[in-house]
Amino acid sequence: MTNVYDNILGLIGNTPLIKLNQVTKDIPATVYAKLESYNPGHSTKDRIALHIIESAEKKGLLKPDSVVVETTSGNTGFSLAMVCIIKGYKCILAVSDKTKPEKIAYLKALGATVFVCPANVAADDPRSYYEVAKRIASETPNSIYINQYFNELNIDAHYQTTGPEIWEQTQGKITHLVACTGTGGTLTGSAKYLKEQNPDIQIIGVDADGSILKTYHETGKIDKTQIHPYQIEGMGKNLIPSALLFEKVDRFIKVNDEMSAYRTREIALKEAIMGGYTTGAAVQGLIQYTNINPLKETDVVVVIFPDHGSRYITKVYSDKWMAEQGFVNNCFHNYEEVFKTEIIK
């Protein structure tokens, strides 16, 4: 029998590449999106959730009544909660208050216990979602802390799966890999594999305006003056994750909330791909990169689209939310014409 699985975890990985035709029409290269929303948990984080938990099982760290604890902006939490249901573990998650209510509802629907923590505090503040998750794990018997930001298995999951998939799907023709960086595991785990196949492949990390990752890559120093609140979830950081292999990244591009939001909406309108906020950020990063480093017709670019837009319906896909942010002067569309809603009375 084909396409038959013992449980939903069998669907993780082997996500498709889709050629982008409209949003990248001014780029001479061939550009593909790797749609990680095709994972059963609708994001690339399914890969690390399964890999880390199964590695812990092999080491005897998990028992039938074990508790899995993690810090998450949403996607890792969804994936862990999904894996825990199938594996029979309890899941406790710490999220930031940037996380929209529907994401929290989704996590709870999957049986997770959720702690909401302030986003705009230092990473080492006891109220931060990093520190809250650590405390819960230390106080909870028979628990493990996933610690995706500092877990080498985060890198290894993508080294073993995402990187090889991209290499095979492009028949080794890939010249550029573009992805947003949060923990860094997706981009640099994939990059580690791809660089082994061809060290000339250019790895471009996309960072958020308000994050320290780009400057740290360029200077080796943490510049706390660059830290400020921003809206894009799941990318950028106010700490330096060890799961981000900076030596594998050739260049970082920093993008802002507004242009990333517009680009997310444009991808839906022109490519019919409902991607998350970081999908727009990744494409915006590619466009900014090509303004500095023009690409050739022979170049083959893969942009990782990390998750599905259904998780952002009341955020970047909401006209009301966009207007509240002041995002109304769309550079490639007339905002009111494209996003208007006709009400018949």
Which of 151-165, 225-239, 313-327 shows the highest mean pLDDT? Answer: 151-165
How distant, in Å, are the alpha carbons of 28, 32, 33, 204, 313 from that of 21? 11, 9, 10, 21, 24
- Is 70 exceeded by the pLDDT of residue 339? no
pLDDT in tens, 73-85: 789 999 999 999 9
- Is 80 exceeded by the pLDDT of residue 335? no
Going from the N-terminus, what domains does the chain have, and what CATH number goes with each? 8-43+162-335 (3.40.50.1100), 45-148 (3.40.50.1100)
Contact in structure between 131 and 145 (CB atoms under 8 Å): no
Overall average pLDDT of the 254-265 stretch: 96
Q: pLDDT-derived band of residue 20, with 50, 70 and 90 as boundaries?
A: very high
- 90 labelled catalytic: no
| Sheet of 17-19, strand order | 17-19, 30-35, 300-305, 176-180, 202-208, 251-255
Q: pLDDT-derived band of residue 66, with 50, 70 and 90 as boundaries?
A: very high
Distance of CA 1 to the CA centre of its chain: 33
Catalytic residue among 19, 25, 34, 45: 45
Q: Which residues on neighbouring strands pair with residue 33, listed in sequence order?
A: 18, 303
Q: pLDDT-derived band of residue 197, with 50, 70 and 90 as boundaries?
A: very high
Q: pLDDT-derived band of residue 341, with 50, 70 and 90 as boundaries?
A: very low
Overall average pLDDT of the 130-159 stretch: 95
- Is 90 exceeded by the pLDDT of residue 331? no
What pTM does this model have? Answer: 0.92
DSSP tag of 124: T
pLDDT value at position 329? Answer: 62
* Residue 201 phi, psi (nearest 5): -60, 130
- β-pair type (300-305, 30-35): parallel
Average model confidence (pLDDT) for the chain? 93
